[in-house]
Homo-oligomer: A and B are copies of this chain.
Amino acid sequence: MNILYDEHLDGALPPTDKADVLQRLQQALPDMTLLHREEDLRPFECDGLSAYRVLPMLVAIPHTLEQIETLMRTCFELEVPVVTRGAGTGLSGGALPLEQGVLLVMSRFAGILELDPDARIARVQPGVRNLAISEAAAPHGLYYAPDPSSQIACSIGGNVAENAGGVHCLKYGLTVHNVLAVEVVTIEGERMTLGAEAFDAPGFDLLALFTGSEGMLGVITEVTVKLLPKPESAKVLMASFDDVEKAGKAVGDIIAAGIIPGGLEMMDNLAIRAAEDFIKAGYPVEAEAILLCELDGVEADVDDDCATVRQVLEKAGATDIQQARDEAERALFWAGRKNAFPAVGRMSPDYYCMDGTIPRRELPRVLKGIAALSEEYGLQVANVFHAGDGNTHPLILFDANKTGELERAETIGGKILELCVEVGGSITGEHGVGREKINQMCTQFQPDEITTFHEVKAAFDERRLLNPGKNIPTLNRCAEFGAMHVHKGELPHPELPRF
């Protein structure tokens, strides 16, 4: 395997002459917006993970496909790295700029190109907001299913890059299950269409490979998504528990009973109290945990499912079960959940949001483990999460102004993710790896597997110019992180290149 030794990948990139790059890009693309002064670059220094900030060398804001092709070709020739940014709402620093790189901003690609209600597809540009697709489809009784919490602001291109999830993903799938095709431009400036409107495509499944690839394989320039019919009816049950582990077990029981809820969310006491204080959603503040379970579909079907879920919840030890009486109460129940993060933010100067995914059956064990870590390190942890798909979001509360609290929060966070991996889960459910969790990738994967990722990356971008230093760690980084066993200074596979 021919992967080059590249010691600068994780840190400082080779020195680039900013004035020279600027001039070359201005020559090649006289009509493209190109920002280079510090005050213009400042707004782009971070994405939704604002703890990490880097001023990009240059910001490019193209408005035609041809400009993107030329931009990529020029950066490829100059060997200047490119980071692509959607709406900048990502929570793992996937769009964190590089000091020596170009930040490609896709905000001008914000058009819905085609909406075919009969074929139930929409062809859109990557800068279109997630919610805008559902809004455009609403007159036809259709919607786009994946609904990250940021759906008002986040863009579909970023959703594809991160394989975004949301409350509805348990039943309706992640982004990868709802995208039919993407058009991409490679680092060499070539345009390709991956996937098709047709049900299957021959050759390797490059569409799935691109989905969730965090901007490391190419730039997404167009997305064709599936639209789904809006369910006829939706009802929500709220169950209270006097014990977090019992609530965790009930989640698995509901699925095992043959029900796939439209949403199945869990909150623990700390999260319940925070949300109730903020939203007045009618939550039981004395409960140790609540489950919110939404059933959707045809009316008769929903009624049947509600009855079944009630039985399962009673058997699992729920101390109280309420069904939202009307649409207004249903909206209120959800408002508490959807505002839980800002609600927790009101309780603590800082919090650190984790995103580990585990097999559902391990929920009780992992919740117990998180409680033990919280006690051991003396920091509160609130749990608010997509319980149905095992996607936990522990929020670690701390005060960055108190010495040592940030470090302790990071330690707990790392240990929670290791626990997720230990029980057969993964270090990210929907927020991506980005810059934030690159060290934990060393826990999740073996050196052989990480090498395979690098080899796949090299098939698209051998010069490693697309979003370097994100998503896939180098083996050297893993050795430094300590997750990999290093004996007398030797990596376990000394024959592997130490890129």
A131 to chain B, nearest CB (A): 21
Assembled-state Cα–Cα distance A197/B358 (Å): 8
Most buried by B among A252, A298, A424: A298
Q: Name the segment of A11-19, A239-247, A442-450, A480-488 touching the other chain.
A: A442-450
A425 and chain B: residue at smallest CB distance: B198
A448 and chain B: residue at smallest CB distance: B190
A88 to chain B, nearest CB (A): 21
Assembled-state Cα–Cα distance A170/B202 (Å): 17
List 6 interface pairs A-B (beta carbons < 8 Å), by A numbering. Answer: A199-B389, A199-B429, A200-B426, A202-B471, A209-B209, A300-B300
- Is the CB of A68 closer than 8 A to any CB of chain B? no
- Is the CB of A472 closer than 8 A to any CB of chain B? yes
A240 to chain B, nearest CB (A): 23
1/0 per position for A369-400, CB-CB distance to B under 8 A?
00000000000000000000111000000000
Chain B residues, Cβ within 8 Å of A252: 118-119
Q: Specify which of B213, B298, B391, B459 is in contact with A300 (CB 8 Å cutoff).
A: B298
- Is the CB of A414 closer than 8 A to any CB of chain B? no
A interface size (C-beta, 8 A): 78
Q: Is the CB of A456 within 8 A of B453?
A: no
Contacts from A to B (Cβ < 8 Å): 1-2, 117-120, 141, 163, 165, 169-170, 174, 176-177, 190, 192, 196-206, 208-209, 211-213, 217, 229, 252, 255-256, 258, 297-298, 300-301, 304, 357-361, 389-391, 424-430, 432-433, 437, 441, 444-446, 448-449, 452-453, 455-460, 462, 471-472
A215 to chain B, nearest CB (A): 12
Q: Is the CB of A202 within 8 A of B455?
A: no
Q: Is the CB of A198 within 8 A of B390?
A: yes
Chain B residues, Cβ within 8 Å of A120: 255-256
Assembled-state Cα–Cα distance A217/B455 (Å): 13
A70 to chain B, nearest CB (A): 17
Q: Is the CB of A460 within 8 A of B471?
A: no
A340 to chain B, nearest CB (A): 20
Q: Is the CB of A198 within 8 A of B256?
A: no
Q: Specify which of B199, B298, B426 is in contact with A390 (CB 8 Å cutoff).
A: B199
Q: Is the CB of B301 within 8 A of A196?
A: no
Q: Is the CB of B205 within 8 A of A176?
A: yes
Assembled-state Cα–Cα distance A448/B174 (Å): 29
Chain B residues, Cβ within 8 Å of A357: 198-200
Chain B residues, Cβ within 8 Å of A361: 118-119
A251 to chain B, nearest CB (A): 11
Q: Specify which of B190, B209, B256, B390 is in contact with A204 (CB 8 Å cutoff).
A: B209
A433 and chain B: residue at smallest CB distance: B202
Q: Is the CB of A424 within 8 A of B197?
A: yes
Q: Is the CB of A425 within 8 A of B196?
A: yes
8 tightest A-B CB contacts, nearest first:
A208-B208, A300-B300, A455-B459, A118-B256, A199-B389, A198-B357, A229-B258, A198-B425
